[in-house]
Structure 1
Amino acid sequence: MSYSEIKAAIDPGIISDPSLIPSYEEIKRFNDACNTASELAGNKKKPLKLDTIRDIYGILCPDEKAKGLPFRKENPLHRLYYHDIAPPEKIQAQMRKLGEWIDEPGTKQMHVFEKVAHLHFKLMQIFPWAKETGRTARIICNMLLEEAGYPLAVIHSIDRQKYYESLRGDHVGILSLYLEAVETTAESELKVYDEADKAAPRRRRRA
């Protein structure tokens, strides 16, 4: 979608094209989930819990929240990801283990990049929900990065194939992607700041 279409989705003052309403609603939910994650990142008194992951998923999928956020009961036949995922009957037990791992002292002492790589990989191997599991994982991991003072990691479309392949290996592939993504974001931010700084003297001269 274009910038103007995304802006229309999150700006209540813009009248939307009815044909794009479903896409707009999806963008709004994504925006709400990101804003919630950002607020949580700023509140370090509330550490990451398994319920945090469920809460973010619930914002992305309000219909599933109304049902109690049930785990998937079958293996999706058509999906973007082609790595092995947990069978439905093992999801609950594996999610419980994930929650225990999150609460372990050793996990809390990990460097944030190591933590997000492990967390992302573990959650995607379980794949608890047929929809929005990947998006939930990425939002949660960016929340942890923001909490630690790092730029957000954006996995661009050109890196999606590398992302899918890394899920078939181990967490090291995910770690590499996050490091590259954060570095790219940091470089982009520095470029924006540099351009703004160069433009400032011109504005002063015109004044």
Structure 2
Amino acid sequence: MKALAALLEQADALLSQLQQYRDWDSRSVDKATDIEYTYDSNRIEGNTLTLRETDLVINKGLTIGGKPLVEHLEAINHYEAVELIREMASHDARFSRHDLLTLHALVLRGIDKQYAGRFRDIPVMISGSRHTPPQPWLLEEQMAGYFEFYAQNRQSLHPIVLAAELHERLVTIHPFVDGNGRTARLVMNLILLQHGYPIATIHGDTESRLAYYDTLEQCNLGQDKQPFHGLITEKVIEALQRRLALLQQKE
């Protein structure tokens, strides 16, 4: 992996190129991107719908035989949550506690009525991780610190680093009973969209998932954050390169 500074410089250069195409109507590409992002983000969490099945559930309203109802709900809910972060980004308002809880409520809509859109009141463990999230009585203080970090750094940190930090810090705190990963990735992409970047997707295949979890675990345990920041920056670069390739084909 390149040094983080070099990766950020590469991302900035690609974003400058992308901004030259401001008049391009990106809606059809956005829709395809949002389907793929939904598929991969849910796949990371164990959803077994294929990309094609995810598309059929969202765009055609079909029920996939042999697949549980909850997987259909996860696809529909996540896609609508992506639409919501696009709308939020267009207003360029500060990211707030209300925004976070609204996103989480949408992710778990119809899946977990008790805990959708609210912080947990029970202890949780992260399967396969050495990190133990804070006890529930510490969450209010830790989440206040989370939003204080955002307020203090929203204009000084590089947008990609800010997005990665909000992603990682939310997973480390693990404020929800379920849906922490999907919500954290949505928050990350909200920040990226607010700064003109396309949605960045962490793929759900085994190799990509392991790299994601390994670098995230280092952050959770208070170790080096550079690998995670670098991984997220690489995903942003991939998204930028893909957009530019599509635009150049249309010329």
**Structure 1 equivalent of residue 167 of structure 2:** 120
Question: C-alpha deviations, 1:126-174, integer Å up to 9, x for none?
Answer: 0111311011011111111111011221111332212111122233222
**Structure 1 equivalent of residue 27 of structure 2:** none
Structure 1 counterpart of 2:164, one-letter code? A
Cα separation, 1, equivalents of 2:156 and 2:83? 26
Question: C-alpha deviations, 1:161-196, integer Å up to 9, x for none?
Answer: 121111222332221111100111122223333444
Structure 1 counterpart of 2:192, one-letter code? L
1:176 to 208, 217, 230: 230
Cα separation, 2, equivalents of 1:41 and 1:81? 32
Structure 1 stretches of 5 or more lacking a match? 198-207
**Structure 1 equivalent of residue 246 of structure 2:** 192
Cα separation, 1, equivalents of 2:216 and 2:51? 30
Q: TM-score, normalised by structure 1?
A: 0.82
Question: C-alpha deviations, 1:43-65, integer Å up to 9, x for none?
Answer: 11x21112211111111012556
Give the number of aligned pairs. 193
Aligned CA distance change for structure 1 residues 66 and 184 (closer, same or farther; 3 Å): same
Identical columns (%): 21
Structure 1 stretches of 4+ with a deviation exceeding 4 A read 63-68
Aligned CA distance change for structure 1 residues 14 and 60 (closer, same or farther; 3 Å): closer
**Structure 2 equivalent of residue 86 of structure 1:** 134
What CA RMSD, in Å, does the superposition of the two structures yield over aligned residues? 2.3
- Aligned residue for 2:154, secondary structure, equals helix
Aligned CA distance change for structure 1 residues 174 and 65 (closer, same or farther; 3 Å): farther
Cα separation, 2, equivalents of 1:80 and 1:56? 26
Alignment of structure 1 residues 32-47 onto 2, 5 Å: 32-44=80-92, 46-47=93-94
Q: Residue 41 of structure 1 contacts residue 143 of structure 1 at CA under 8 Å; is this kept in 2?
A: yes
- Asked if residue 23 in structure 1 is aligned to residue 77 in structure 2, the reply is no
Question: C-alpha deviations, 1:22-67, integer Å up to 9, x for none?
Answer: 32111000001110011001111x2111221111111101255665
Structure 2 stretches of 5 or more lacking a match? 1-48, 220-224
- Aligned residue for 1:108, secondary structure, equals coil
Structure 2 counterpart of 1:165, one-letter code? D
After TM superposition, the structure 1 stretch with the greater mean CA deviation from structure 2, 177-186 or 162-171, is: 162-171
Indicate the structure whose relative CO is greater, using CA pairs within 8 Å and at least 6 residues apart: 2
